[in-house]
Structures are given as structure tokens and as C-alpha cells.
Structure 1
């Protein structure tokens, strides 16, 4: 029997689009990272090439940072389905460019960096639109299950994408980009099947005032602010994704064949966790459990940094992926349930900016720190720093510790200190 959210046709098509888009994105990302590092290593040492990997993250983050106020306002002002279709079409265009460049033998660092910037533009608009669209497709009481299923789709794609990307790249380098283009096209078709959804009108005012409302709401609501910024700093400091090509090539010595499993291992742990929550939703002590999960994430990151064993490295990555999914599930449920629908696009934009800052700037931080200290020291230090940030946030945002369940009155409270525990 299908889980309850998947019985709703609109959500089911949304879920399929998310799954295929994620597979396509991850197949592209792993090959882009490998090509950047491999091309750079032809003329540079390990640290200099790692620095180029860090720049890829920065190139993706800059357009997202610039466009976040506009993309959030757009997701609340326009039809979220149209935005989703447009951004997936842009990603299809990016895949076609990389396919042509790789097939033609003229792939280069400038092309890879240019496409990375376009993907940053797509992500700037995709995050708010898709994040705000999902709650419109299911009843509020099953939203945590829908969030878990959506995360399971993303994580499943994050497993399949890198594995397919690595395998197909071994066959011929252009194949991963061809697969991505086909999947993006299918995703667009799925998004066109989602029926119209009602929209809550924005508060009257100028577009600039309406954009500022989203930031003001996040600043007032300490629960939302604490949840968003915890993810920002923990993953910014503790993320290991950018270092995986370095570990695959020069530390674990497993090459591109090993890079696929390394990239997929966190998603494997995360997928199992997401599936569990889609069947048995978490109900008690959600705030404390979220904080504990981030501590586990940091510890697994530090241990991965020290490992020279391929099986141990895979196990560490699977654990940190499971811990991250545990945190994501709780954080996204709290944010969605504590945000009015007319604000969801703008709040999702702030959340997307924080996630991108933690991921893309985290990659930049990893690359720069690895260039300075070496990849092992940079990774271990990042894991320890993530633990320290979690302990600090537990004190700075007591609302996180006091959030005991996902239950809250209807409508959702807007005041900063009203949390599900009734504090």
C-alpha cells in the first residue's frame, strides 16, 4: 500500500519529478567535480587542484546569494509550478552544454565554471518554489510524512545519481550528461501534470517591502531562525563533499570507480532514515534529537577525515548521512509547520540560501582549508567545529531544545517564542 501522501496525484507527480531531477543533478555534479579536479591535476599539485574544487562551490553560491530575495518573493507571488518547470528546463540546458562539450572534446575549466554558475541560478529559484509547493499538495496533518518522502526521493537520487555518473563516465565521459538531460526532460513533463493550487495573497506593499517581510519573519521566529542557522554553520564547517575527489584519488586511492560509492554513501544512510520516518514519523523530543543528530554528524565527519580504509570511510559517510537526514527531517518539519503559507516562498528562500551557503561555501571552505592545512586536517577540524557549533546553538536557541513535538495550533503561530511544546 502506498504511503498516504503518495495517494494524492499532485504530490505523486511532484515526488517523481524530485526523484528524477535529483538523479540527474547528482550524476552531473559528481562528473563536474571529477573533471575539474582531473583537469587541474594535469598542471597542478593536490592543494592547488583542491583549491579549484573549492571555487566550484563559490561560483554556484554567488548567484544564489544575489538572487535569494527575488526568488523567494517570486515563489510567493507567482505560480510555483511555473517556476519549477522553468528551473528544471534551465538544468536541462546545462546538461546539454556539458554533453556537447564533452562529446566534442573541448570541455575545459571555464565551461565547467560557467555551467556551475548557471546551476546556481537554477538552484536559487528551485529551492523556494519546490520547498513552498510541497505543503500545498498535501493536508497539513500528513506534511511531516510528505517531507520524509520528499527527502527519501532526494536521497535515493543522491545514491543512484553518483553511482550512475561514475559508471557511465567510465564507459564514456559524455554519457552521464546525456542521462541527466533525459531525466530533466521527464521531470518537466511530471511537473506539467500537477494541477493548479490556491495561493494566499501577499500583504499589500511594494515588492521590496514584501521581500523584506520574509527576512523579518525569520528574524522574529527564534525557532525557525535557530533551525536554519544550525544547519548553515554545522554543514558549512563539517561538510566533506568537496574533498571526496581528493580522498578517492590521492588518499584512499580508489579512483573514479570508488568516488561513486563515496558520494553515494551519505545518501544511503540518509535514505534509510527518511524511509523509516515516512513509515514511523518521529513524535517526541524532536528538538533535542535534532541537536544530538548534528553532534553525531560532526563526529562521523572527523572519523572519516582520519580514515585510510575504504570500508571504514564508507561506513563513516553512511552514518553522517543518516545523522544529517535525522536533522533535516526535524528541521524542515518545524520550519514548514511554523510558517504561514503566504510566507513559505520567502522563508524557503532564506532556508535555501542557508543550505547553499553550508554546501557551496562549505565546499569553498573545504578547498581553501585543504590548500592551507591539507585535506585530512581540514576535514577533521571541520567535524570538531560542527560539534562545537551544535553545543553553542543549544544554549543560544533554547526554543530548539524545548520543541517536543510537531503539534501546534492552527493557524501556525508567528511569534518567536511560541513552539510546539507550548513554551
Structure 2
């Protein structure tokens, strides 16, 4: 009854929101749902690499390579999105995503996939989805305006996380029944659905940038803003640290499932489903109760809970406690992203919002370093020790941020 009441309140809040009056925003959110079925690729890639190499380090390497383009191309993607129509960009990118997932599915389905395929092709797909996500988060405010920015970002995040939940369950089931190749075909179909929805978007948005700059000046303008705006620079650095310490724990989920709780690929899919469910719950709470004020303080509180959840996951005495910890951890991941993305776009002029999201993408693009580090740590000291170390350091970072970053607390 409590869950039903919560769901009814959330649905009522969404339906009455001025954000959903925008036809194009609803289309963007719908496309994001289908695109994020691709989050099931973490299940596919992690399990296939673990079975092939029996090494958590190699899982970390594979996931790291998939996300590496974010570090090198994040600001480039943001700059492009500030000077070119964002609608056309995301449509083109999604067409590429369909092709990449289909090729990977064919290779796996015919047993022709080598290790280098599993490292290279997902990296191409990761580049495409990184650019798409960078553009989407700026496009939201183009469509709904700064006034409804947090609400728009939360609803987009809700759609993305719901798609990720469906993707984790569906891809995990398909992986167990028909293999990884069929799982990639599911991802390709999800991208096709997203593309068909995206081509229906008509407007660039009332808050779209003027697009008066050029590619060369785009980088220098962002660099000048980072030097001038110390709060912006510090927040980008904080996002980078949170990514390295907290988000990289995702690389250990296959090992948590197989080596700690003796679960198969279906079990890993279930853990990833709770991973997505926690994000949905976190964003749903913000959608219901978030008023848009003191977002900086909210971000810092989330970091405290994030660190604690990693510690609990590392020392969980039962599978049920581990699932609760994963749910809390993923909720913190979703809220950390939501707060940091909204804060960064509030801190820059309108024509720099795409580049601000590019800087955010570059910051989270440090994940490959963290994936390698936590994978190596788990291989040497064990999964429990790796999670405990990361959780403890993240909690310390949250405490230091609360005490030292006064400007962030007041935003």
C-alpha cells in the first residue's frame, strides 16, 4: 500500500508538472528510456569478460576502455553541442549506436568475437552514448528552461534509470537463455526505438544557445570560465574524485555476484536491476520533494550516504543486506549525477551549458583509471577490502567537503 501510494503521488506530480507540458521534452524522455536499455551492456560485457579471463582486473579494464572516450572527448562533445543543433546530433548518434550494437551481437552470436572485439567495439559504442548523454542533459534545459531545470533533469533521469532497470532484467534474462549475442540484439532494438522517437522532436527549445561561436573558440571560452569561476573548477574536481572513489564500484558487481554470493548471469542481472531500482527511487524522491533550493548541501549529504553504502556492501552479512546496500549506492549515484549536472549548468552562462556538461563528462571520464585501480585492488586484496577502502575514502572526502567548501553549501 505504501509503494502504491508513493507511485500515485509521483505520477500525479509528474502529470501536473509544467515540464511534461512540453511535447518535445516528453519525446526526449521517451527516447532516453529506450536508449538506456543499453545499460544492460554492463551485464553482458562484464559477464563475458569474466567468463573468458576469470579476472576482475580484466573486467575493470574492459569497462574502463568502454568509458575512456568520455575523458578525451567530453569537452569536445559539449563544444559541438553548443554550436550545432542538438536535435540533429542526437539523432545521428543514435543511428550509429544501432549499427554498433548489431555488429557486436553478430560477432558474439556466431562465436567470432575475440578479446580485442570485446575491448574495441564497446568502446565505440561507449563514445556514442557518452556524446548522446552529454547533449541530452543540455537539451533538457533548452526545452524546459532554467526555472524547471532540476525537475526536468530529474524526470529525464527517472526515464533513463527506468530504461536501465528494464535493460538489466531483460538483457540478464536473454544472456542466461540465449547468450550474449542475443543480448546485444536487444540493445540494438532499444536504440532503434530511441531513434524513431528522436526524429519526431521539432523544436530546438526556447533556451537553446545562440550558436554564435566556433569550434576553436569553444575550448578557449571554457578554459577562461574555469579560470575565472573557482566554484565551477572546484565542483568539476569534486565530481572527478567521486567518480574515482564511488562509481567505479560498479566494476566489481560481477565479482560480488559470482565470487561472494555464488550467483550466475541471471543473478547478476537481478543485482543490476536493483542497481537501477535504487537510482529510480532516489530520483523519484527528488521529483516528489525536491524544491530546487540548497542543491549544493543536498549533494554533500548524498556523498556521505554514498560512502557508507559502499562500506555496508563490502561487509554485508547476507545477500539481503547487500541488495539494500546496492540499492542505496545506486540511489546516491543517481542523485550525485543529478545534483552535479544541475549545479554546473547553473554556474555558467547559457551559451556555455553544453561545455559545462562536457567538463562534467570529462570528469566522470576518469572512471577507467578507477576501474583499473579497483579491479587490481580486488584481485590482490579481495572484493571486500576494495569496497571498504573506496567507501572509507569517499566518506572522508564528503566530511572534508562539508567543512571546507562553503560556497557549495550555499548554492
Is the structural similarity TM-score above 0.5? yes
Does residue 35 (structure 1) correspond to residue 48 (structure 2)? The answer is yes
Aligned counterpart, 2:61: 55
- Paired residues of 2:75 and 2:362 also in contact (CA < 8 A): no
- Paired residues of 1:235 and 1:386 also in contact (CA < 8 A): no
Match of 2:373 among 355, 365, 368: 365
In 2: Cα distance, 1:383 partner to 1:149 partner: 28
Does residue 271 (structure 1) correspond to residue 284 (structure 2)? The answer is no
- Paired residues of 1:75 and 1:83 also in contact (CA < 8 A): yes
Q: 1:120 to 1:380 in 2, by over 3 A?
A: same
Displacement, 1:52? Answer: 0.6
Aligned counterpart, 1:5: 19
Q: Can you list the C-alpha shifts for 1:268-296, whole angstroms capped at 9, x where unaligned?
A: 12212212322332344432232121011
Structure 1 runs not aligned, ≥5 long: 42-48, 404-423
Displacement, 1:158? Answer: 2.1
Displacement, 1:11? Answer: 0.3
3-state DSSP of counterpart to 2:35: helix
Aligned CA-pair RMSD = 2.0
Aligned counterpart, 2:187: 180
Does residue 332 (structure 1) correspond to residue 336 (structure 2)? The answer is no
Give the count of matched residue pairs: 393
- Paired residues of 1:81 and 1:194 also in contact (CA < 8 A): yes
Which residues in structure 2 correspond to 1:98-113 (within 5 Å)?
98-113=104-119
Higher helix share: 2
In 2: Cα distance, 1:207 partner to 1:284 partner: 34
Match of 1:214 among 211, 219, 222: 222
Aligned counterpart, 2:29: 15
Aligned counterpart, 1:416: none
Q: 1:113 to 1:11 in 2, by over 3 A?
A: same
In 2: Cα distance, 1:262 partner to 1:114 partner: 26
Does residue 347 (structure 1) correspond to residue 360 (structure 2)? The answer is no
- Paired residues of 2:101 and 2:184 also in contact (CA < 8 A): yes
Aligned counterpart, 1:74: 80
In 1: Cα distance, 2:89 partner to 2:160 partner: 19
Q: What TM-score comes out, normalization by structure 1 length?
A: 0.87
Structure 2 runs not aligned, ≥5 long: 1-11
In 1: Cα distance, 2:278 partner to 2:391 partner: 18
Q: Can you list the C-alpha shifts for 1:321-356, whole angstroms capped at 9, x where unaligned?
A: 223333333322222233322111111111111123
Q: 1:196 to 1:282 in 2, by over 3 A?
A: closer
Q: What TM-score comes out, normalization by structure 2 length?
A: 0.90
In 2: Cα distance, 1:132 partner to 1:402 partner: 23
In 2: Cα distance, 1:117 partner to 1:314 partner: 29
Q: 1:207 to 1:26 in 2, by over 3 A?
A: closer
Aligned counterpart, 1:136: 142
